[in-house]
Amino acid sequence: MTVRVGEIVIDRVLEMEIPFLLPADAFPRTDVAEAIEKHRHWLEPSAMCAETGMLIIAIQTWIIRTPKHLILVDTCIGCDKTNHYFKDWHQRSDTHWYQALLAKGINPAEVDYVFCTHLHGDHCGWNTRLIDGRWVPTFPNAKYIIAKDEVDHVAAGNTPAYQESVLPCIETGQVMAVDTGFTLDDQVWLEPTIGHTPGHVAVHLQSRGEKAILCGDLIHSPLQCLYPQWEYWIDFDPKQAVQTRKHFLETQSETNNLILTAHFPSPSMGFVDASENAFRFRFLT
């Protein structure tokens, strides 16, 4: 689904859409069983697998074409990458994402900017490719826009994502480690949305009075619109993540701003509506 926000054209490349975690594993600090039964009628089959009971997530890259720039936001898992959490993500050889990007007319050499909302392995993997035994930036002429706090955090931890997907781009001089409130121009800027990670950001788009926000992992499931207090299993600072999520939902509710999520099931975009004492995600149709 290709959409427009004023002059900005938005598209996506899907790397995978899969049953991922049981709700009790995704939100381990909460007894979610009663809520899941209450909402099963709309969760299945698109947001929860009826056979496994697992929540379904998308892993995808957003393609942003402004009148000035070609931008990618978050670059999925990638190939040959180290992943200690999920064996199916470890050293993948499936190049479908890269081929799909080319099929959409994206020449890697023509990408101007790659924004990473944060540096978990499923958001920066295609930053680089393994060529002749070394990691090479996938987008040779792009600047990689990443919050400095995020870069510093993964560098201090010397994570595989840093070693394989960030450091090679630093070494070529392509990483711009920016403030969490960085502004590219009058159509594209960042908002600090910390909690899931120390330097997590959302990406704002605006054109001709219309607005969209790429929210990254400040929210993982449409269930968290109804229950924003549910803490996600891998949040760096769960309490801060809850406050960030609540603030985001409150400020975006009833605004008609288009929300582009990282992991909601397809089409992964929609609007935040008020619903009783919380919120509901209305998918774009």
Q: Among candidates 190, 14, 211, which has minimal Cα distance to 116?
A: 190
Cross-strand pairs, 175: 144
- Domain holding 222: CATH number? 3.60.15.10
Listing DSSP states for the chain in one string gives --EEETTEEEEEEEEEEEEEE-HHHHSTTS--HHHHHHHHHHHTTTTB-TTT-PEEEEEEEEEEE-SS-EEEE---S-SS---SS-GGGTT----HHHHHHHHTT--GGG--EEE-S--SHHHHGGGEEEETTEEEESSTT-EEEEEHHHHHHHHHHT-HHIIIIIHHHHHTT-EEEE-TT-EEETTEEEEE--SSSTT-EEEEEEETTEEEEEEETT--STHHHH-TTPPPTT-SSHHHHHHHHHHHHHHHTTS-PEEEESSSSTT-EEEEEEETTEEEEEE--
What pairing do the DSSP bridges indicate for beta strands 210-216 and 258-261? parallel
pLDDT in tens, 227-270: 999 999 999 999 999 999 999 999 999 999 999 999 999 999 99
What pLDDT, on a 0 to 100 scale, did the predictor assign at position 119?
98
Q: How far is CA 270 from CA 137, 262, 267, in A?
A: 32, 12, 8
- In percent, the amount of the chain with pLDDT more than 70 equals 100
What pLDDT, on a 0 to 100 scale, did the predictor assign at position 153?
98
Confidence band for 58, pLDDT divided at 50, 70 and 90: very high
Euclidean distance between CA atoms 232 and 28, whole angstroms: 7
Domain count, the chain: 1
Euclidean distance between CA atoms 270 and 262, whole angstroms: 12
What pLDDT, on a 0 to 100 scale, did the predictor assign at position 189?
98
What pLDDT, on a 0 to 100 scale, did the predictor assign at position 10?
98
What pLDDT, on a 0 to 100 scale, did the predictor assign at position 1?
83
Question: Maximum CA pair distance of the chain?
Answer: 56
* pLDDT at position 276 over 90: no
Q: How many of the other CB atoms lie within 10 Å of CB of 136?
A: 13
The distance from CA 148 to its chain's CA centroid, rounded to whole angstroms, is: 18
Confidence band for 277, pLDDT divided at 50, 70 and 90: confident
pLDDT in tens, 7-17: 999 999 999 99
Work out the mean pLDDT of the chain and round it to a whole number.
Answer: 97
Cross-strand pairs, 3: 10
* pLDDT at position 141 over 90: yes
Euclidean distance between CA atoms 245 and 201, whole angstroms: 12
pLDDT in tens, 150-201: 999 999 999 999 999 999 999 999 999 999 999 999 999 999 999 999 999 9
Contacts of 157 (CB under 8 A, 6+ apart): none
What pLDDT, on a 0 to 100 scale, did the predictor assign at position 6?
98
Cross-strand pairs, 258: 212
Mean pLDDT confidence for 115-131: 98
What amino acid is encoded at 152 in this protein?
D
Domain that holds residue 127: 3-283
Listing DSSP states for 274-285 in one string gives EETTEEEEEE--
Global pTM exceeds 0.95: yes
Q: How many CA atoms lie within 13 A of 267 on its CB side?
A: 14
